[in-house]
Homo-oligomer: A and B are copies of this chain.
Amino acid sequence: MSEKTALKLHPGDNVAIVLVNVEAGAPLSPFDIAAQTQIPRGHKAAVCAIREGEDVVKYGQIIGRASTDIAPGAHVHVHNVSMAEFDRDYAYGQHAKPLEPFTAADRATFQGYRRPDGKVGTRNYVGIVTSVNCSATAARLIAREAEKRGLVDKYPNVDGVVPIIHGAGCCIGTDDEAFYKLQRTVWGFATHPNFATVLMLGLGCEANQIPLMLEVYGNPPKEQFRYYTLQAEGGTRKTVEKGLEWLEQALAYANEATRETIPASELTVALQCGGSDGYSGITANPALGHAVDLLVRNGGTAALAETPEIYGAEHLLTGRAQTRDVGEKLVDLIHWWEEYAAKNGSTMNNNPTPGNKAGGLTTILEKSLGAVAKAGTTNLAGVYKYGEKITAKGLVFVDSPGYDPVSITGEVASGCNMVCFTTGRGSCYGNKPAPSIKIASNTPMFDRMNEDMDINCGTIIDGVETIEEAGRRIFDEMLAVASGKRTLSEQLDVGDAEFAPWQTYAQM
């Protein structure tokens, strides 16, 4: 059998990705056709005849329409594909499909922490969350002193003490969405199920008042939440001392938590891509998408985010929206982003650039499909603001920038108890308290950064496994990591420095 030179991403596709530069006449193995012309690596070839006006289908999705008859083996690109007209129609829910859930007997489980309020954690950390930068050092000093004294080692069920610190929290208005965003984010971490218990530290006079959060969200039980302010306690050292006293009790309390068998429906996985390359959309992303389909069929939840990455192709998601209301919420976000970008002198337009086109991306739909591929194929069940608590099961969307740490901070604040992160160029990301599985799009990068990359999906291009096989592997890894298997970023102790709340206010 000759070497594989082309790859069909979905059974319903009428184009395949060409994996190497091919000359006219070269076989497009494993298909029984030859290239009609020279076709560059990463570009598309027709795997059957496509008549003028017919849909061009990749990822099982329409990416455009044939503007002329296309022969099998022909190069498919801007010269013979035009944008389909349906792309301006949000078609709310018209492409939604019934879910095929696994039967109760087939449903996956993992070993997780069931919290007193019913929420489920995949890790058992103790958190020190700050309302403002002015209390950041006190939080870090408590965690550092705990490390020096070896406190955590005495409590084998506790994963660690995590200071959640940031540069924000004051000199901002307190009555608009920009403020609520920060408030939700800080509070989302303070009540995250991967924390057994949390101490919140403030300065005292900051705009992001702790008592105001308690007023808005309610005051959790004392075993799970306490707060101090530096001004009330008399400064740094006294607060650190008091924090260390709290910590002894907190660690003892957290240590009582034990893992138990939990249905996979309690997993809420943050989806992310960063440092994408030409392979992301055809290997790591669709493989993760398959894992997400498995998760959703198990009753679980996956959160797509990174609103700028779906811009211009939002109808791909509105068409899959469970209800019209869900679809409209997504469109409202899109409009908000247009205004946000414009008033800051930026633009949302991510139409295929000359570089994208040279790489083989023909339409904005194709580009966005690569990003959206990591969300799988199920219906869109909910749309949430940045840091807003996710309440739906299934595939949901959380508004956020594309920038990895800021985006994941919002997803985790929204309740994600695990992260799956695809990358082509390589990432050293990690999160606390949410374990993060990093998935490589190509083998050379996986090999080069093998101490940071948990999973290789370059195997799909290498011909070692199919998208479905890689997806199954990712899903199994989700369950293993949720049950306590430590990711590479956890082994490296990454995650204390990656809390980065999205700041959309004027900093006064």
Contact = CB atoms under 8 A, between A and B. Distances in A.
Interface in A475-508: 489, 492-508
A333 to B, nearest CB: 14
A295 B450 CA distance: 55
A449 interface: yes
Contacts of A406: 167, 171, 507
Nearest to A445: B231
A136 B497 contact: yes
A29 interface: no
Contacts of A503: 503, 507
Given A173-B345, A308-B508, A402-B171, A235 B426 contact: yes
Interface in A165-202: 165-168, 170-173, 176, 178
Contact of A449 (B205, B234, B449, B507): B234
A222 interface: no
B176 A403 contact: no
Interface string A395-407: 0000001111110
B308 A492 contact: no
Interface stretch (A64-72, A137-145, A248-256, A361-369): A137-145
Say what secondary structure dominates the interface of chain A: loop
Given A449-B235, A451-B238, A427 B506 contact: no
A351 to B, nearest CB: 15
Contacts of A425: 204-205, 231
A178 B345 CA distance: 10
Interface in A416-461: 425-430, 448-452
Interface stretch (A82-90, A323-331, A336-344): A336-344
A497 B140 contact: yes
Contacts of A103: none
A97 interface: no
A153 to B, nearest CB: 15
B170 A496 contact: no
Interface in A228-271: 230-231, 234-238
A429 B138 CA distance: 10
Given A166-B167, A344-B506, A507-B503, A134 B173 contact: no
A448 to B, nearest CB: 5
Given A340-B506, A341-B508, A235 B404 contact: no
A231 to B, nearest CB: 5
A161 interface: no
A436 B143 CA distance: 23
A231 B492 contact: no
A230 B133 CA distance: 27
A443 to B, nearest CB: 14
A393 to B, nearest CB: 29
B236 A344 contact: no
A201 to B, nearest CB: 10
A498 B426 contact: no
28 contacts: A133-B498, A134-B405, A136-B497, A137-B496, A137-B497, A166-B167, A167-B405, A167-B406, A170-B404, A171-B308, A171-B401, A171-B406, A173-B345, A173-B346, A178-B344, A203-B427, A204-B426, A205-B425, A230-B428, A231-B275, A231-B425, A234-B451, A235-B428, A235-B448, A343-B344, A346-B506, A402-B508, A503-B507
10 smallest CB-CB distances across A and B, nearest first, come from A167-B500, A344-B506, A171-B403, A136-B497, A235-B449, A235-B452, A346-B506, A137-B494, A401-B507, A133-B405
Given A133-B498, A167-B405, A172-B346, 10 more contacts: A168-B500, A171-B403, A178-B344, A204-B426, A235-B428, A235-B452, A236-B428, A236-B494, A237-B492, A401-B507
